[in-house]
Amino acid sequence: MSLNLTDQRILVTGGAGYIGSHTSLELLANGAKVTIVDNLINSSADAVNRIRELCSTPENLEFSKVDLNDKSALEEVFSKAKRPDGPPFDAVIHFAGLKSVGESSQMPLKYYKYNVSGAINLFETMQRHKCFRLVFSSSATVYGVPESNPVNESAPLRTTNPYGQTKLMIEEICRDLANSTSNEKWQIVLLRYFNPIGAHPSGRIGEDPTDIPNNLLPFVTQVAIGRRALVRIFGNDYDTRDGTGIRDYIHVEDLAEGHLAALKRFNSNSESGSKAAFCNAYNLGTGSGVSVLEMIKIVENVSGKRIKYEIVERRKGDVATCFADPSKAERELGWKTKRSLHDAVASSWKWQSMNPNGFMQS
């Protein structure tokens, strides 16, 4: 997506992570000055180095190792960027947070501390510095078990795990901020991702799980590259075309462009003179679903490798089918996916092949 962000300063929390790194690179390609803050718990500083290598304006990228629960360090980031003629940042894109569904069920307090408390600290700091434009990295997990598919933004919000609950709680905080009776006019876009996959076409940045992958595709590609023995498929008796779960898989570069579309919404408001508060949610997905067995077959075709798998018992809370209705994002943000499932899998395999052990070990 082409968007002139020249001279705009964007703060990206969690910008060294999978989606954050691709979005940061896209922002830089469109002229923005990007400040990344990341505690590097589930990411690598090497991702930031590679963003600098890939972009044409490395001088426009700053990085600070900051945990959002460290209020003084976060305050320092905002104070350092202070400008006499406006807020320190034109907008904040908030990715930072823990994201393992399974771990969240084992350690819910950890997730509430990092995700919810961290978000509150960020919003309070933004408020002090009169920075009221926010894009929040939400998730399709806020829909829980969908009543029907495709899922649109008016579907009931309910979650099946603490991770999803933290996303929903932060969404509720955002809605309350936008509906506040104060003079602060928060403008907030909530982006509900479905299942991000893929990597940058260079193969230099991609998804690099620090432990056992929580998502399907990196697990499958790690089996294909020889890092893992097999894929465990949780249930093959769902009411789907082959008995395995169906999900909506979106290329991470399409997802990154969705964040630029959200910023474009802010810029359009500025051009029209509108300062009205709002908090709007948008699904980012393809609008179609792929099963686990279908995904394994696609990886086999792309990689030329045989993928071994075994069927194990369903996990509690797993959903049979979930895919997006992304029409609202196309209608209101002018965004839709451009890249195919094959493109996404091929880029993931390129990343995995070039970086068999992830960042720092390539």
Instruction: Kindly list the catalytic residues.
Output: 163
**d(C-alpha 321, C-alpha 306), whole Å:** 26
Query: Measured in whole angstroms, how far is the alpha carbon of residue 45 from the centre of its chain?
Result: 18
DSSP 205: S
Nearest to 246 by CA among 317, 342, 323, 348: 323
Q: Which SS3 state, helix, strand or coil, does residue 355 take?
A: coil
| The pLDDT value given to residue 268 | 72
| The pLDDT value given to residue 362 | 44
How many Cβ atoms sit within 10 Å of the Cβ of residue 226? Answer: 9
**What's the token pair of residue 157?**
């919000």
CATH of 9-354, one of 3.20.10.10, 3.30.70.3150, 3.30.1330.10, 3.40.50.720: 3.40.50.720
Looking at the whole model, is its pTM more than 0.85? yes
Contact 253, 200 (CB under 8 A): yes
Q: State which residues of the chain have pLDDT below 70.
A: 1-2, 269-274, 361-362
Name the phi and psi angles at 275, rounded to 5: -120, 20
| The pLDDT value given to residue 213 | 83
How many Cβ atoms sit within 10 Å of the Cβ of residue 304? Answer: 9
Alpha helices in 246-340 (DSSP H): 252-272, 292-303, 327-333
| The 187-193 sheet, strands edge to edge | 61-65, 33-38, 9-13, 91-94, 133-139, 187-193, 278-284
**d(C-alpha 19, C-alpha 253), whole Å:** 8
